[in-house]
Structure 1
Amino acid sequence: MQSSQRYVLSPAARWSFQGRDLRLHTDSMLLVRNCPDSVKAWVEAISSNANGLPAPTDSDSVDIVGHLIRLGFAVEAFDRSWQDSAWVNQVEYFAALGLDAGSAQRRLQSMPVTVLGVGGIGAAVLSELVGAGVSSLTLVDQDEVALRNLNRQYLYRRCDIGRPKVDVARDWVLDRIPEADVRTAIASITSPIDLRPWVHPEGYLVVAADTPGDLPQICAQVCRDVSATMILGGCGLKVGASGPVVTPPHLDSFVASRQAAQSIAMTAAAPMTASFGPANTIVGATMGRDLVLSIAGVEAGVDERRIDLV
């Protein structure tokens, strides 16, 4: 603990006193029996002081307060300037995770993200990104909205049938974040040359299209060239997959693993035409969560996440 650091009660924590005992709740519960009055006073104070207070240093308090901080019941005071924004609750969530919450939210607002494919999975990922405040977006898809899309692609309505998906998706984004910077491309991606103009250096790429069969390798090559990070996912019949979030240092090993898997399978399977809306939403939401947390500063896992869909 630094004596100059100021702490507030975690936005995820609740507390109560019962006699001389202090109870704190988050996902778990902590009971402090015969809690010193100085600790009680500090907990009560940091629960209502947005600017936070230094940790007490008296001998009765220092060990208990140290545990409260290490266990996440008390967190560093965080940026409250988001109080009148759509993301106030998310900033509190980041603070409860132990992040520099204001900086995390600013990274989300400024990070350029390309969504390749705004269909069943891509539209779900896009919803999570926009909800999280991502405001610099490039949307790439060659398709128009069709009637058969409406069972799972919830951005689109019957009145949108026949319009390019990227145009409808852009309007959907701007309706929620009017100041967002949204680029669109009606394009088919079959080579790195096709994709490179749409991926920002040091940005993120969401791979939510399923053709051609070597699309993940194409995307990895472009991300390697521009030092971007990528995430991909997909739906099967009963099992889906999300991730991994592949950062530039891991792109070569990712490509090698994909090539090895394809050599074992001999040929890439054609995409499944059957679809179930909730399955796409589950995979897209999982990808969106992993992507948002990665941008916010939570270290991503290196393994694909398998998801039971049925």
Structure 2
Amino acid sequence: MPQSPLVTLNNGSRMPALGLGVYQSSPEDTSAAVTSAIQAGYRLIDTAAAYGNEAEVGEGIRRSGVDRAELFVTTKAWISDYGYNETLHAFDRSLGKLGLDYVDLYLLHWPMPTEFERTVAAYKALETLLNEGRVRAIGVCNHSAEDLENLIARTDIVPAVNQIELHPYFTQKATRGAATDRGIVTQSWSPIGGVMVYQPENPNDVHNPLEDPTILVLADKYSKTPAQIILRWQLEHGLSPIPKSVRPTRIAENIDVFDFALTADEVATIDALDTGKRGGPDPAAVNSALFPFAIED
């Protein structure tokens, strides 16, 4: 059974390099997907308050039969809960839904540069949770290099992780570089480019990395699937991909990427597919007006 190698975070915590993401996994599918993933060798599970499936993630963990201490569980504070006391409350809510005593990584979901004071206050709540030992590491999502610098200037603890949209068509080299300079691990959401397919800018002009000729040639060479080639590319860059699936066969396939390696030239060939265009929301535009929904207690 394959298992992911571990990455050491900047506070000494160790995180599996590859995990299961559950964004857009329906509550009814999530528990089984999480159990299937853990039984297939996954030890990192990534959810968020805004995904609406934290309780099902917790249920899947309990059903797996694997000891909690062997797992690395991530969740995220939603923007409606930004602010110091509000974020502390949001954490308690998430912990209750998960049915856990602690989480391994707690993240801010978006930077909210137009509501930056609330973002800073929320991050200071994360620092408190870390200092109290209720979380093992803290970090952020969707932060640009500028967002990272602004946050670090106003807070005490450098984020351990910055989770961003990152796939062969949107490689975010500058943001990755800024994170590396600060000792921050870059984690990739939509790592095989699904965001380009399920919410394309133009439904009549869909660009799917899994169908790119460059990826298909490499898949044929290594007798791997296109998804496995892209995940291996992520790992060659020292990134932490968290692919989503609810299908046991695909879940098992996505972690079966530790028995081969791409050459430097092959990695560079995939790098060259970058379009500079994201598929998800522009973080600079995200605020409580764009996403006005709140998380229920």
TM-score, normalised relative to structure 2? 0.30
Structure having greater relative contact order (Cα 8 Å, sep ≥ 6): 2
TM-score, normalised relative to structure 1? 0.29
Compare CA radii of gyration and give the structure with the larger one.
Answer: 1
